[in-house]
Amino acid sequence: MNDVVIDLQHVTKKYGDFTAVNDLSLQVSKGEIFGLLGPNGAGKSTSILMMLGLTEPTSGNVEINNINSALNPIEVKKHVGYLPEDVGFYNDMTAKENLMFTARLNSLNDDEAIEKVDELLNLVGLSSVANKKLGKFSKGMRQRLGLADVLVKDPNVIILDEPTSAIDPEGVKEMLSLILKLRDERQMTILFSSHNLHQVQQVCDRVGIFVKGQLLAQGDISELSEQLFGREGCSLDEIYSRYFETKVI
């Protein structure tokens, strides 16, 4: 695979006798949206924490942009934007004030910050509510602002951990559209962790099926279909169901 940006080699994470992630090997290329698909508790968030350098693997190697996440966590964070399921903002501040705060934390001067914040509010479709306080934002609006927030430092990698959880259908549509836009217009590398197979199927170039700490299969839909059924044309529903031997809704 050319231009590998996210590279995990035989990564295991244990907490005492419990194995949260077991021998995970995964590569994601520049400009690719990779879907990490699995149920809650599968180990997806633990894997993300290791990528971000927020916890160390028990064994194995994690690199982002050829930087070891365990050895150089601060350097890794300069290149990676992280959007969790619930974004922390100051509710008594406006959308613009929250982004300006983040911009100053990233050492932008006021002129640079104003230009960057206005650009990002426009990108995520929130220019019209720039001066509205966050306490009045819907969950979908908060997540779009969260995406703008992680883009302030111009990362080339974005990690999204259940970014559409508890968002209404219109909000989900807007978020997925933004994710595609970041790939197509900015060539950003995106890891999209989710338990929602329909959303993963809509935006991801490749998918990894992650269950009980193990990556059971990875590839595009055609490749996964060929691996499991010996033929192309199967849906992600069928592929996912095969691993759980039950119907996936």
**Is 131 within the bounds of a domain?**
yes
Distance CA(89)–CA(192), nearest Å, equals 22
What does the pLDDT profile of the chain (249 residues) look like in tens digits?
469 999 999 999 999 999 999 999 999 999 999 999 988 888 999 999 999 999 999 999 999 999 999 999 999 999 999 998 888 899 999 999 999 999 999 999 999 999 999 999 999 999 999 999 998 899 899 999 999 999 999 999 999 999 988 788 888 999 999 999 999 999 999 999 998 888 888 899 999 989 899 998 898 888 877 776 767 667 777 777 776 654 443
Relative to beta strand 4-15, strand 18-29 is antiparallel
Q: Range of 141's domain? A: 4-244
| Three-state DSSP state, 109 | coil
Distance CA(101)–CA(15), nearest Å, equals 36
| Residue 30 buriedness (CB in 10 A; 0-12 / 13-18 / 19+) | middle
Which positions ≥6 away from 188 have C-beta within 8 Å? Answer: 31, 155, 156, 157, 158, 182
Contact 129/141 with Cβ under 8 angstroms? yes
Taken in order 69, 72, 77, 80, the sign of the CA dihedral is negative
| Domain at 141, CATH number | 3.40.50.300
**Is 48 within the bounds of a domain?**
yes
What is the structure's pLDDT at 246?
45
Q: Please tell me the total count of domains within the chain.
A: 1
| Three-state DSSP state, 82 | strand
Residue with tokens 């934390």: 105
Distance CA(82)–CA(72), nearest Å, equals 17
| Three-state DSSP state, 9 | strand
**Is 249 within the bounds of a domain?**
no
Of residues 69, 59, 58, the one with CA closest to residue 6: 69
**Is 139 within the bounds of a domain?**
yes
| Residue 136 buriedness (CB in 10 A; 0-12 / 13-18 / 19+) | exposed
Contact 164/153 with Cβ under 8 angstroms? no
What is the structure's pLDDT at 41?
86
Distance CA(55)–CA(71), nearest Å, equals 11
